[in-house]
């Protein structure tokens, strides 16, 4: 009996221990259980839909929709790339793809894509394609009605494969045919560099994909050797970033060896690292101004932010985008890849520039920038105050100019594009980009074209006046102010001649850029834009004023509010 009781006691104890272990597992691994449970539920729902849904479902489309929605609930940078989209991911990382090397745009009137900007030295340019060419057929396949993405897929392909392209060219009666061989297209990382006034060098850095540090080093060395520059402007405006290592390498050109530039912190150990400068610098003394705007993001913010935190450059422009998240590619079954956000990065002062908190969303699922009141003060190497949570704030703030309403409508109606196309038919050559200027006769010709096109656009003043008039009527004030409203309506009557004259400088600037890039590609476009660039003017001012430059990069200068 005693032996039996012992055995029963052991069984009971075993059951109790198993029970405690089971509930302990649920308690300590509740998240693991919930993950397994929901994956099982997802699989079950797909099976049920496949079996019982009234229509036959497309498993690729249905499940891809679920994957995309799941990833979008996290942040916009975590993406899934199936096997057929690997070239898109490769282009993002390496800055290369197999194709013709041209930007195309969709003409909604013709319902066809057109060549918008061929890259210099790439197959589109070398085979003779021109801006404005209307894409008709690829290997006999009609492109009518196909959107830019569909046409782009047909233009891209394996390197060294060929195809026939038929285009219609404005001013040419018969369609033109081109035999084009796809090449590895390397997007230009330094589309323009040169020497400005007063010994100032200028480098436009457009991307951190591929190997931009190598190109940057080459052009910086050339500027010093051949132009004897004594200061430097680095233009990072609209540079959306790329590879972290490339940004650190460029910082290293101007910062001594063994300086901490970036620290990444993630959930797992592999996602947390410290990155230091590893080489001897090229120049630790040359004064530097960095141009930034709201399109400056990610690796660009690492470069600008690190130079600011180390008091190595003056930042000029507007506050940057604020992307402080790091993504890495993770292989998936069936040739897919998950580009997943694994960590946040922190620049030398210890701050993270991430401006949007995707973890804490509003009830409607939307997200917003972190309020300035919730940001934290950090300090640069010499003690200047800087803040986290909102991108990189410039040392010299330059308020962006507001574009007049008419520009958007002229752009939307392709009137800049169409005039530039006609201009090129009449002018086989033009003056060098630095010397080119649109004449009064050219602009009058453009104005006549706009009028002939029966151009219409909404005036903001007219819209606001109507809103005010409706509000006055609703509140009972319209009758007593009707004469004033009528007088104001007459003064604000739509007058195209007046607007084309009043906003001539703004319109000429965009028109000139559109024309110059037809002859001198992206390089010429940048040269033309720099002629009337307020941010660049401020950079030149500070670089030609050594006292102001030193004052900004001092604690006293920051405290006295040198930024304007």
* Token pair 């912190």: residue: 265
Q: How far is CA 504 from the centre of its chain?
A: 29
Candidate list 113, 207, 231, 298, residue with the active-site label: 298
Pairing of strands 260-266, 273-276: antiparallel
Buried/exposed 515-546: b ≥16 CB within 10 Å, e otherwise:
bbbbbbbbbbbbbbbbeebebbebbbebbbee
Candidate list 309, 311, 395, 418, residue with the active-site label: 309
3-state secondary structure 421-449: HHHHHHCCCCCCCCCCCCCHHHHHHHHHH
Told to judge if 550 belongs to the known catalytic residues of this protein, a careful annotator would answer: no
Q: Tokens standing for 87? A: 């070239």
> In whole angstroms, what is the distance from residue 538 CA to residue 546 CA?
13
Told to judge if 505 belongs to the known catalytic residues of this protein, a careful annotator would answer: no
> In whole angstroms, what is the distance from residue 491 CA to residue 393 CA?
41
Picking from 409, 382, 410, the residue whose alpha carbon sits closest to that of residue 395 is 382
Residue 241 C-beta-side C-alpha neighbours within 13 Å:
24
Which helix (H) or strand (E) covers residue 136, if one does? strand 134-138
Cα–Cα distances (Å) from 558 to 538, 549, 564, in that order, read 17, 11, 11
Contacts of 231 (CB under 8 A, 6+ apart): 198, 199, 200, 201, 286, 287, 288, 289, 543, 544
- Cβ atoms within 10 Å, residue 262: 22
* Token pair 């969303």: residue: 361
Candidate list 183, 323, 447, 517, residue with the active-site label: 323
Picking from 317, 288, 223, the residue whose alpha carbon sits closest to that of residue 542 is 288
> In whole angstroms, what is the distance from residue 209 CA to residue 298 CA?
12
Told to judge if 28 belongs to the known catalytic residues of this protein, a careful annotator would answer: no
Which helix (H) or strand (E) covers residue 525, if one does? helix 504-530
CB contact at 8 A, 246 and 211? yes
As a whole number of angstroms, the longest Cα–Cα distance in the chain is 117
What are the residue numbers of the active site? Answer: 298, 309, 323
């Amino acid at each position: 009996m005693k032996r039996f009781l012992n055995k029963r006691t052991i069984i009971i104890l075993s059951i109790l221990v198993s029970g405690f272990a089971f509930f302990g597992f649920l308690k300590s691994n509740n998240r693991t259980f919930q993950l397994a449970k929901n994956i099982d539920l997802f699989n079950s729902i797909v099976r049920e839909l496949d079996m019982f849904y009234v229509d036959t479902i497309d498993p690729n489309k249905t499940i891809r929709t679920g994957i995309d929605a799941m990833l979008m609930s996290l942040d916009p940078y975590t993406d899934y790339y199936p096997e057929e989209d690997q070239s898109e991911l490769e282009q993002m990382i390496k800055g290369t793809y197999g194709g013709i090397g041209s930007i195309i745009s969709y003409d909604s009137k013709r319902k066809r894509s057109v060549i918008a900007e061929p890259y210099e030295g790439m197959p589109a340019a070398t085979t003779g394609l021109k801006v404005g060419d209307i894409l008709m057929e690829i290997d006999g396949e009609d492109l009518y009605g196909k959107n830019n993405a569909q046409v782009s897929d047909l233009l891209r392909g394996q390197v060294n494969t060929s195809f026939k392209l038929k285009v219609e060219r404005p001013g040419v009666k018969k369609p033109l045919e081109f035999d084009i061989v796809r090449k590895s297209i390397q997007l230009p990382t330094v589309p323009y560099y040169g020497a400005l006034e007063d010994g100032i060098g200028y480098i436009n850095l457009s991307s951190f994909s591929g190997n931009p540090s190598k190109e940057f080093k080459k052009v910086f060395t050339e500027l010093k050797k051949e132009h004897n520059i004594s200061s430097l402007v680095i233009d990072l405006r609209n540079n959306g970033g790329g590879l972290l290592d490339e940004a650190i390498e460029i910082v290293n050109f101007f910062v001594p060896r063994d300086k901490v530039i970036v620290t990444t912190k993630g959930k797992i150990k592999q996602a947390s690292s410290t990155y230091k400068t590893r080489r001897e610098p090229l120049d630790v003394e040359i004064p530097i101004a960095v141009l930034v705007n709201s399109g400056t993001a990610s690796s660009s913010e690492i470069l600008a932010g690190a130079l600011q935190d180390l008091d190595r450059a003056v930042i000029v422009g507007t506050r940057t985008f604020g992307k402080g998240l790091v993504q890495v590619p993770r292989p998936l079954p069936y040739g897919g890849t998950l580009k997943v956000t694994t960590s946040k990065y922190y620049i030398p002062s210890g701050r993270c520039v991430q401006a949007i908190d995707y973890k804490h969303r509003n009830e409607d699922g939307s997200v917003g920038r972190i309020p300035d009141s919730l940001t934290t003060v950090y300090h640069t190497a010499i003690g200047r105050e800087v803040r986290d949570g909102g991108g990189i704030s410039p040392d010299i703030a330059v308020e962006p100019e507001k574009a007049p309403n008419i520009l958007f409508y002229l752009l939307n109606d392709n009137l800049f594009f169409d005039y530039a196309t006609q201009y090129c038919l009449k002018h086989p050559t033009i003056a060098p980009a630095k010397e080119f200027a649109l004449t009064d006769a050219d602009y009058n010709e453009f104005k006549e074209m706009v009028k002939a096109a029966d151009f219409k656009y909404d005036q903001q003043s007219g819209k606001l006046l109507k809103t005010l008039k409706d509000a006055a009527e609703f509140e009972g004030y319209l009758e007593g102010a009707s004469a004033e409203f009528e007088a104001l309506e007459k003064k604000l009557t739509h007058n195209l001649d007046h607007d084309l004259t009043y906003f001539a400088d703004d319109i000429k600037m965009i028109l000139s850029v559109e024309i110059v890039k037809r002859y001198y590609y992206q390089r010429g476009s940048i040269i033309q834009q720099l002629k009337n660039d307020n941010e660049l003017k401020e950079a030149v001012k500070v670089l030609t004023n050594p006292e102001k430059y030193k004052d900004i990069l001092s604690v006293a200068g920051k405290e006295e509010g040198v930024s304007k």
